[in-house]
């Protein structure tokens, strides 16, 4: 859904050109596949498999070699980063390779003249060997990929991908998606997107969309004020966000709610009640929005139609209590939110109609920004404990709470880790952290492992949200 029309038409995935193993039961990489799945995904940490990714080989015309160097490097770097980000693999260093990969083919001995020898990879413990060749002609790139399960000398995935040289990242992400799905039975999330507010000028923030790995940022708002709290629709076609918009008649600015259609760039003002119109969350059926409205009083949670015309109040705060940051469960039955009804802000959950309110968090001084996992079984949130925020995850009923982050600033003080959101496959959590001095974006596995930074710039990021859609 996120690739534009040019990307979608340029990327053509050919049929598999080799027989892939197709058994059908879950297994682990070291014991071999059962049921066609080489890597078993569960709640516990996954044993990482040893993967070798030799440099991608260029097989095209020498006249295109200059451009090919750049294309090959980008293909390799994006794919390798996706594999690292998956958390499934450890990687064999090139200096450990026995064969000179530049002098052997992409297929094994017996399938092509001068092919590679499986024994050379077995000796160094390789479980998965990825061999890739590519060629560039008339601004088009063709990528031949072969992934082997070395212990059984079997081709796991063999595909050819084609696209414009401008779409190299899409080609690499698509290959990574296909390989992860083949090995685990679950789709990869490498074509998913991130939306976040980002500083542009002093006292100004705009909304940006970027790839899952922090690359290709694209600004979608130009309010030249403070735009904040973006959120995705479940089909990935729209983004809702808030901005301090100018109202000429009153000659004031107000925190209004907008929706933005990605395919057309069409923007719609949907809620401009006096005060706060913010913290939106789309309903899973795509017919409505949850948001926080103050309307001159204490903030409460409302549900409204996409055009902003029909409004229904869900919470009714008393004595100045605040009910904010609504997040609807994937099945549409529950709403997680932050509330001060118990004194300090804590995470609560209620039925979609506002009934049966239950407090989920007890510990900590300040808990905020709840976000559901795609399967509705877990909730992640930011919790403040004496000096700083950290990211936590818990079961949807508030049990089995786990702290996922802990980091220090260069000064030695505890860093803040905030605004968590799940990846579309539910295996990773995106958040922002000021551990380097500025708020940058990071991802971490739901088990607290494989934490990595994905933005490297001088901006500040706020309220990132991972797209619900895979592509």
Q: CA 239, CA 204: separation in Å to the nearest integer?
A: 19
Domain 193-466 has CATH 3.30.70.1150: no
Report if pTM > 0.95: no
Question: Which residues are within 8 A (CB) of 361 and not within 5 positions of it... i.e. 6 or more apart?
Answer: 346, 347, 367, 381, 383, 394, 398, 401
Fold of 5-184: Rossmann fold (3.40.50)
**Structure confidence by residue, pLDDT tens digits, 385-443:** 889 999 999 999 999 999 999 999 999 999 999 999 999 999 999 999 999 999 999 99
Smallest Cα–Cα separation from 130: which of 116, 111, 142? Answer: 116
pLDDT of residue 104: 96
Smallest Cα–Cα separation from 6: which of 165, 183, 229, 133? Answer: 165
Q: Give me the mean pLDDT over the 237-242 stretch.
A: 97
> How sure is the predictor about 41, in pLDDT bands with cuts at 50, 70 and 90?
confident
Rounded to 5°, the CA angle 267-269-270 comes to 125
pLDDT of residue 24: 26
Q: Which residues of 65-97 are buried (b: 16+ CB within 10 A; e: fewer)?
A: eeebeebbebbbebbbbbbbbbbbbeebeeeee
Q: CA 170, CA 79: separation in Å to the nearest integer?
A: 10
Smallest Cα–Cα separation from 145: which of 231, 227, 57? Answer: 57
pLDDT at 20 over 50: no
Q: Are 400 and 380 in contact (CB under 8 A)?
A: no
* Residue-range domain boundaries for the chain: 5-184, 193-466
Three-state secondary-structure class, residue 208: strand
pLDDT of residue 364: 84
pLDDT of residue 4: 40
**Structure confidence by residue, pLDDT tens digits, 266-297:** 999 999 999 999 999 999 999 999 999 998 78
Smallest Cα–Cα separation from 88: which of 128, 59, 132, 115? Answer: 128
Three-state secondary-structure class, residue 219: strand
């Amino acid at each position: 859904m996120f690739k534009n029309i040019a990307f979608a038409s340029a990327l053509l995935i050919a049929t598999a050109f080799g027989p892939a193993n197709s058994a059908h039961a879950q297994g682990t990489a070291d014991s071999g596949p059962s049921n066609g799945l080489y890597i078993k995904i569960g709640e516990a940490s996954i044993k990482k498999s040893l993967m070798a990714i030799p440099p991608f080989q260029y097989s095209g015309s020498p006249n295109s070699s200059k451009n090919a160097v750049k294309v090959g490097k980008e293909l390799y770097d994006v794919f390798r980063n996706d594999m690292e980000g998956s958390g499934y693999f450890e990687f064999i260093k090139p200096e450990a390779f026995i064969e000179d990969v530049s002098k052997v083919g992409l297929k094994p001995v017996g399938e092509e003249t001068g092919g590679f020898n499986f024994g050379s990879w077995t000796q160094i413990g390789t479980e998965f060997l990825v061999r890739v060749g590519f060629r560039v002609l008339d601004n088009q790139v063709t990528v031949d990929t072969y992934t082997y399960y070395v212990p059984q000398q079997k081709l796991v995935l063999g595909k050819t991908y084609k696209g414009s040289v401008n779409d190299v990242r899409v080609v690499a992400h698509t290959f990574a998606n296909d390989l992860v799905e083949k090995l685990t039975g679950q789709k990869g999330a490498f074509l998913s997107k991130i939306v976040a507010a980002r500083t542009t000028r002093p006292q100004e923030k705009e909304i940006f969309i970027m790839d899952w790995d922090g690359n290709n940022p694209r600004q979608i708002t130009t309010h030249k004020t403070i735009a904040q709290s973006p959120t995705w629709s479940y089909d990935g076609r729209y983004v809702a966000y808030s901005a301090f918009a100018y109202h000429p008649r009153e000659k004031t600015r107000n925190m209004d709610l907008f929706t933005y259609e990605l395919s057309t760039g069409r923007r719609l003002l949907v809620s401009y009640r006096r005060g706060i119109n913010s913290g939106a969350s789309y309903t899973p059926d795509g017919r409505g929005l949850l948001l926080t409205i103050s309307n001159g009083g204490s903030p409460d949670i409302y549900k409204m139609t996409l055009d902003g015309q029909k409004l229904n109040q869900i919470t009714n705060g008393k004595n100045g209590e605040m009910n904010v940051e609504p997040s609807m469960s994937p099945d549409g039955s529950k709403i997680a939110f932050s509330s001060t009804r118990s004194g300090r802000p804590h995470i609560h959950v209620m039925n979609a109609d506002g009934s049966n309110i239950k407090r989920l968090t007890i510990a900590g001084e300040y808990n905020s920004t709840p976000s559901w996992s795609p399967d509705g079984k877990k909730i992640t949130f930011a919790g403040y404990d004496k000096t700083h925020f950290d990211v936590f995850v818990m079961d949807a009923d508030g049990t089995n709470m786990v702290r996922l982050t802990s980091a220090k600033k260069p000064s030695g003080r505890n860093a803040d880790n905030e605004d968590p959101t799940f990846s579309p496959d539910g295996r990773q959590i995106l958040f922002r952290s000021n551990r380097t001095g500025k708020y940058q974006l990071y991802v971490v596995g739901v088990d607290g492992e494989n934490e990595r930074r994905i933005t490297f710039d001088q901006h500040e990021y706020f309220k990132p949200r991972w797209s619900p859609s895979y592509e």
